[in-house]
Amino acid sequence: MEASRYYESVETSYTSSRSLNIEQEKRERDKEKEDSAFSASSPASPTDAKSSVQTIDSCQAMLLPIGASISLLVMFLFFDSLQTVFAICTAILATVAFAFLLLPMSQYLLRPCYSNNNKISFGCCGRFTPAEIMSFCLSFILVCIWVETGHWLLMDGSLGMGLCVAFIALVRLPSLKVSTLLLVGLLMYDVFWVFFSSYIFSTNVMVKVATRPAENPVGVFAKKLHLPGLVRDAPKLSLPGKLVFPSVHNSGHFSMLGLGDIVMPGLLLCFVLRYDAYKKSQLPCGETGAPTTSYHRITYFHCSLIGYFLGLLTATLSSEIFKAAQPALLYLVPFTLLPLLIMAYLKGDLRRMWHEPFIIHQPPRYMDV
């Protein structure tokens, strides 16, 4: 479990950095569009540029735990009827997410041969760079191997990681207020479905849904086409929603961590990493921003990352002590959110971080006299 905790912390740090790189690339593209529009004497605005990044607002943050509860109930009550649909949707999402994860590697490998600006047209499907095509093909091959073998390392390891990276890189938390609403709501959601769902449904709904395998679509279609060989060879598939690691203590057993326990604190880490970079960029030229006290030397990102690691450690110890599934957000949210709030208060940034800190209020062009 020490290796798994280190792996989760490294993955969260990587996804936060990847998200920051995407934002910097978008800012550079917006600037290039503004320059080209100015040279053509046509008005342009950064808000006109299309962005693939989704920002969560307060309303969405409060409704997300409710939507997650409804989705969990649907998967619990109607799993047998919809398991083939779940498996097909999983394959599609995993292909897109893992292609996103493999894109930087493909860009690096193809950089000596092709320029990233050269795109190949696929008709109505759109135009794609060679690196995007390569990453998609590799991802498609991996998903096909998962469908054929059903191996846990592909879906509950690599493809699950791809889903986490894609979600954290493409979703934004705009302020500490929205972050708090989202994490506290999901904390209550996690605690209810892990601890109290068994009193209503006579079983732990969260664990039941996370560990239930689905019928292989290949086997389902082979059964309808009366191909007994394929039906017999098609393995059941483990759906995403968790990462699993071989247990150190019990051979043949696995330790499990939900993807939401990585993604949701990861969104907070992404937010504070962006704020650290934004605050550093606001320093006047020539100023180094030298820390005046000991806690000023610690960035918000490192504070939250250390809290995330300690939260994972506490969740693991609790699971070993009580010999039962634990809602990881019960430990991750206090260990990441509370130190962040305290540090922001001590540094005097709490009010600014609580409201949307990245909105730049431009001074009026004309002054009233």
List pLDDT tens digits, range 51-83. 568 889 999 999 999 999 999 999 889 888 888
Each domain of the chain, given as residue ranges in start order, spans 2-19+55-283+293-354
CA 193 to chain centre: 21
Q: Is 30 a catalytic residue?
A: no
Q: How confident is the model at residue 126 (pLDDT cuts 50, 70, 90)?
A: confident
Q: Per mean pLDDT, which range of 121-135, 190-204, 236-250, 256-270 is the poorest? A: 236-250
The interaxial angle of helices 79-110 and 58-77, nearest 10 deg, is: 120
Spatial separation of the C-alpha atoms in residues 349 and 280, rounded to whole Å: 13
Residue 84 pLDDT greater than 90, yes or no: no
- How high is the pLDDT of residue 82? 84
Question: What confidence score (pLDDT) does residue 289 get?
Answer: 54
CA distance 265 to 48: 31
pLDDT for position 249: 62
Q: Residue 323 pLDDT > 70, yes or no?
A: yes
Is residue 268 a contact partner of residue 304, using CB atoms and an 8 Å limit? yes
Q: Give the Cα separation of 86 and 82 in Å (integer).
A: 6
Active site residue 261: yes
- The residue-averaged pLDDT of 290-311 equals 82
Catalytic residue among 57, 80, 261, 368: 261
Question: Which whole number is the average pLDDT over 192-206?
Answer: 89
Q: Are 280 and 270 in contact (CB under 8 A)?
A: no
Is residue 165 a contact partner of residue 97, using CB atoms and an 8 Å limit?
A: yes
pLDDT beyond 90 at 309? yes
Q: Which residues of 342-358 are buried (b: 16+ CB within 10 A; e: fewer)?
A: ebbeebebeeebbeebe
If one compares 361 and 307, the residue with the highest pLDDT of the two is 307
Model confidence at 13: pLDDT above 80: no
Please give the model's pTM, rounded to 2 decimal places: 0.76
| Residue 178 DSSP SS3 | helix
Q: What is the DSSP letter of 369?
A: -
Q: Rounded to an integer, what is the distance from CA 236 to the centroid of its chain?
A: 26
Give the C-alpha separation, 335 to 183, whole Å: 12
User: Above 60 in pLDDT, residue 36?
Assistant: no
pLDDT at 46: 33
Q: Which one-letter DSSP state was computed for residue 247?
A: -
pLDDT value of position 108: 85
Whether the pLDDT of residue 364 is over 60: the answer is no
DSSP state at residue 225: T
Identify the pLDDT of residue 37: 44
Closest by CA position to 213, among listed 238, 240, 243: 238
Share of the chain above pLDDT 70, in %: 70
The SS3 call for residue 52 is coil
What is the model's pLDDT at position 137?
Answer: 92
> Quick one: pLDDT at residue 164?
84
Phi then psi dihedrals of residue 82, to 5 deg: -115, 10
What is the total residue count of the chain? 369
Which pLDDT value is given to residue 38?
A: 40
User: Three-state SS for 171?
Assistant: strand
Query: How many CB atoms lie under 10 A from the CB of residue 175?
Result: 22
Looking at residue 344, its amino acid is A
Q: Which of 104, 208, 73, 213 is nearest to 155 (CA)?
A: 213
**Whole-angstrom Cα distance, residue 113 to residue 121?**
18
Element of type H or E holding 121: strand 120-121
DSSP-based helix, strand, coil % in the chain, nearest 5: 70, 5, 25
- Look at 97-111, 276-290, 327-341 and tell me which has the smallest mean pLDDT: 276-290
Alpha carbon of 195 to those of 66, 224, 265: distances in Å? 17, 40, 21
Which one of the listed residues 30, 80, 190, 233 is annotated catalytic?
A: 190
* pLDDT number for residue 214: 79
Q: In this predicted structure, which of 73-82, 213-222, 322-331 has the lowest mean pLDDT?
A: 213-222
> How many CB atoms lie under 10 A from the CB of residue 314?
17
Which pLDDT belongs to residue 113?
77
Please calculate the CA angle 200-204-209 and round it to the nearest 5 degrees: 115
Mean of per-residue pLDDT scores for the chain: 77
pLDDT at 127: 83
